[in-house]
Structure 1
Amino acid sequence: MSDSFVTKSLDSKQQAYQYLCQDLFSRSKIGPVFYTFSTVITGFLADFHTSLPLPFIVATVLLLVLAIARLVSRPPENTQASLDNAIKKHWILVFFCVVTWSSFFSWTTYQLGLSSAFIFGLVSTINFSTAIVHQYSPQLKRALFCSLLCLLPTSATILMFHPSLDVAALALLLYTPYLVITAKNSHQEYFDHLNNKLKLEAALVKLEVLSITDALTGLYNRREFNRRIECALSDRN
């Protein structure tokens, strides 16, 4: 068996886990930036920068710190400890972004009720919850948890303190089953694609081995022998 085959033949589950970690890392890189922008715009529409600056500043600074931490982070190495650490950091980031935004927007809804800030924040909340179930669907349960954490506090705030806006709360609640169905479909599609990718890579490795070995003996063929001789002579020179 060739050295290249030994090098490239990784355990399929470990390789799938590596791809998943890399995907989650790349998909979560920009999200905090949009949370920050939405918080700033919502706060200015609500005039919080003059009337109630402290909660507005706290939410903005926290999201800005999370965004910077994500942007300056580096991709994980392909070791179990590094990959596990990357997964943990990813979900901590997503959780705190969602909690910060959801708390800020629920507080905005409680303070103002129907307003331009509420309308903008409501659209942003729906966008965030949808993005979560699409982007992070490889880990379905966590994605659904964070998506619902984005929607439900606002719905509860509306129902408890602004019954006149109960239509908006009803719309959010009716949107929840769609998110669940979409998340399940995205989850299945992701792993179907990943499975096909792993099968293709395994087939390419097998094809490479067949191209440099003799089918009967399993030894290197003449073409590979000549290539190695040339490499050895080149290294010697």
Structure 2
Amino acid sequence: MAPDALFPRNTSFALLRESQDTRVRTRLGGIYYLLAWILTWSFSAAPGSMLVLGLAATAFFALMMVMRWLHRLPAHENNECLRQWIDRHWALILLTSLGWGLAHAWALLRPEFEPSRLIATLSTVAFSTAMAFNFSMRKRRCVVAILLLYAPGLAVLAWQWPSQEALAVTLAFYLSYLLLALNRSHREYHATLTMEQQLVDQRERYEQLSRTDSLTQLGNRLQFNSLFPAMVANALRQGTPLSLVLLDIDFFKRINDEYGHSSGDACLSDFAERMRKVFRRDSDALLRLGGEEFGVLMPGTPLDEACQLAERFRVELATRGFELHGQRLPLTTSLGVGCLDAKRNESAEAFFKRVDDALYRAKAEGRDRLALALS
């Protein structure tokens, strides 16, 4: 069982990071769309004569701002939830872009907006620039958003040709620049994301190595110390059984003394492989706790089932022994088996001590046997 198997990582790093970036970068945008419209409308020649449309547009941009703020990241950060969140948030971005594009076109079309047309045009340039540099993670959607900001106004300027020729050409040239800048920003964003993903993967590999016994490839004591309290807490919270099996190879020191440490290492590796064949459920966590002592954490497993598997392992090990240089050597193990006592709200330390005491009792009573932890 992997170190983090109790808490599986179903989340794509790229999707999670994109969602977080989108969330952070979109919060201020809603405010400025609303402010830009209020300024454009307020500084027009006759805001009172456009009261209904002006208030309607104000309400629209205020609604878009509030919806952006309220659209929080999903509680369950799996791929499907994140994709749905991104799609819905982009719908808000695109709808806001369309709203501003129409507002800009209206300001260019109506003579009442003559005093404030520059505000609307500069705001369009600012919004499209921010779009190109802040939302480049989804290039196609960003292109659509920029076109929604620009296209209505450019259509009005083209209709008013040649009186608006200079402004139309200037905005068209700037639009071409934004699309080129967007392409570069898109590449840089994903290059940075790839680099961060590599760093995360490398950190996780180091973490995995630090929690894995290099000889047996089982979890080590560090992993046990991290996993065991979490499993105990989880079992107590959910009211599910949790069994623990502690195993100690009998007379392991003799193998090292008589055949050398390399043979001892081979014995430990073979012992771990035998454990994998018996305790092979995905939920079982197999660990080397140190020296010749091993453990198996079995969430959702009652005591009788844990005892059956532990006894099966003991019998098979004693029957087959350990083959070394073509010679079959006797190999046995002593085991302590216990189940968490949820009725007493037992702590991880008390639970471990009960099973560890059972292991030492099995060794004291002659080894090659299983002892149950006392309640």
User: How high is the TM-score relative to the length of structure 1?
Assistant: 0.88
Aligned with residue 67 of structure 1, among 41, 65, 68: 65
Aligned length, in residue pairs? 235
> Structure 1 pair 81/224, CA: closer, same or farther in 2 (3 Å)?
closer
What is the match of residue 163 of structure 1?
Answer: 162
One-letter amino acid of the structure 1 residue matched with residue 348 of structure 2 = D
Aligned to 1:164, what secondary structure does the other structure show?
coil
> Structure 1 pair 145/235, CA: closer, same or farther in 2 (3 Å)?
same
Q: Distance in 2 between matches of 1:226 and 1:139?
A: 42
What is the match of residue 178 of structure 1?
Answer: 177
Comparing 185-194 with 73-82, greater Cα deviation is found at 73-82
Once the two structures are superposed, the pairs formed by residues 185-224 of structure 1 within 5 Å of their partners are 185-224=184-223
What is the match of residue 107 of structure 2?
Answer: 108
> Structure 1 pair 31/120, CA: closer, same or farther in 2 (3 Å)?
same
One-letter amino acid of the structure 2 residue matched with residue 3 of structure 1 = P
Partners of 1:129 and 1:147 within 8 A in 2: yes
Partners of 1:132 and 1:147 within 8 A in 2: yes
Aligned to 1:88, what secondary structure does the other structure show?
helix
Comparing 36-45 with 18-27, greater Cα deviation is found at 18-27
Q: Distance in 2 between matches of 1:192 and 1:5?
A: 30
One-letter amino acid of the structure 1 residue matched with residue 114 of structure 2 = S
> Structure 1 pair 65/114, CA: closer, same or farther in 2 (3 Å)?
closer
Partners of 1:8 and 1:205 within 8 A in 2: no
Q: Distance in 2 between matches of 1:140 and 1:228?
A: 42
Comparing 115-124 with 166-175, greater Cα deviation is found at 115-124
Q: Distance in 1 between matches of 2:199 and 2:126?
A: 34
Q: Distance in 2 between matches of 1:226 and 1:83?
A: 33
Q: Distance in 2 between matches of 1:183 and 1:80?
A: 26
What is the match of residue 51 of structure 1?
Answer: 49
CA RMSD of aligned residues (A): 2.5
Once the two structures are superposed, the pairs formed by residues 117-132 of structure 1 within 5 Å of their partners are 117-132=116-131
Partners of 1:42 and 1:120 within 8 A in 2: yes
Aligned to 2:83, what secondary structure does the other structure show?
helix
Q: Which blocks of at least 5 consecutive residues in structure 1 are unaligned?
A: none
Shift of 1:148: 1.6
Shift of 1:113: 8.2
Asked which structure has the greater CA Rg, the reply is 2
One-letter amino acid of the structure 1 residue matched with residue 78 of structure 2 = T
Deviations 1:97-150 (A, max 9, x none): 111111112111111288331111111000111111112111101101110221
One-letter amino acid of the structure 2 residue matched with residue 32 of structure 1 = G
Shift of 1:78: 1.0
Deviations 1:61-118 (A, max 9, x none): 1110111111122212313342232122212111111111111121111112883311
Partners of 1:59 and 1:101 within 8 A in 2: no
What is the match of residue 137 of structure 1?
Answer: 136
Shift of 1:155: 1.7
Percent of pairs identical after alignment? 25
Comparing 119-128 with 65-74, greater Cα deviation is found at 65-74
What is the match of residue 4 of structure 1?
Answer: 4
Return the structure number with greater strand share: 2
Partners of 1:214 and 1:221 within 8 A in 2: yes
Shift of 1:5: 6.6
Return the structure number with greater helix share: 1
Higher relative contact order structure (alpha carbons within 8 Å, sequence separation ≥ 6) = 1
> Structure 1 pair 159/144, CA: closer, same or farther in 2 (3 Å)?
same
Comparing 208-217 with 100-109, greater Cα deviation is found at 208-217
Partners of 1:112 and 1:118 within 8 A in 2: no
Partners of 2:44 and 2:112 within 8 A in 1: no
> Structure 1 pair 181/157, CA: closer, same or farther in 2 (3 Å)?
same
Deviations 1:193-214 (A, max 9, x none): 1111111111111111211222
Q: Which blocks of at least 5 consecutive residues in structure 2 are unaligned?
A: 233-345, 351-375
